[in-house]
Structures are given as C-alpha cells and as structure tokens.
Amino acid sequence: MYLETVTMEKYCVGCGEQIPPKRVKILPHTKTCVKCSETGRKRGLSVQVGEGDHSYTDVVILEEKQFINYIVTENKMRKKYAGQSKAEFFSTDDDDYISPDASENVDQIQD
C-alpha cells in the first residue's frame, strides 16, 4: 500500500498568513484566507411568517449593511411606537425607511 504525504500549505495573497488546511482541502484553488475572502459577513434573522395553523419560522440571510440597517430602523420604530400595540408598531405607512446601502447608519446603533 502506497501512502502519499502531500503538504497542502498555501498562503493568502491578501495578508500572507497560512490558509487553514481544511479550507485548502475543501477549496483547493483558493487564494485567500477566510478573513480576506471576497464574501462579506452575513447575518441571520429569524422571522415568523403566516397566521394561526399556517405559520412557520423562516431564516432570512442579510448582508452586514442590511442587518445594521434593520437594527437601526427597528430601534427607531421601538422608540417612536413605545407603549403602542404591535399592529400600530408594524404600520407600513411610515416614512422612516432607510435604504439597505446606508452604511452611515452604523454609528446610530444603540444597545
């Protein structure tokens, strides 16, 4: 039986660090580490969909900027509609919508 030992060491073209061996094994043609990859950070948001017996929970995957926009908008709505019912809170007649590309909203996030 012949056992081949091949070192799969690769180094990131972005930062020069060694790319983790498992990443190289799964993506043999990769040139970047996870940190330097082109794909940006993603966030998951669980949402309840439907009514009564026809409801289910779904997960929506958002880009980082979209998620930040969601948090900023949600915080604004919570302050604006504090003490009101959920039906009033989720009114679609609101002019407070912020575009998903509004990266300047990052500074507005409050805990």
Predicted confidence (pLDDT) per residue in 74-98, tens digit? 899 888 888 776 555 555 555 554 4
Nearest to 59 by CA among 51, 67, 110: 67
- Amino acid letter at 75? N
Q: Which DSSP symbol is given to 5? A: -
Rounded Cα distance between 22 and 27, Å, is 8
Which residue stretches of the chain have pLDDT < 70? 1-8, 85-111
- Which residue's entry shows tokens 């990769």? 30
Rounded Cα distance between 45 and 57, Å, is 10
pLDDT at 11: 92
pLDDT at 102: 47
Distances (CA, A) of 49 to 13, 35, 53, 93: 43, 34, 11, 20
pLDDT at 6: 54
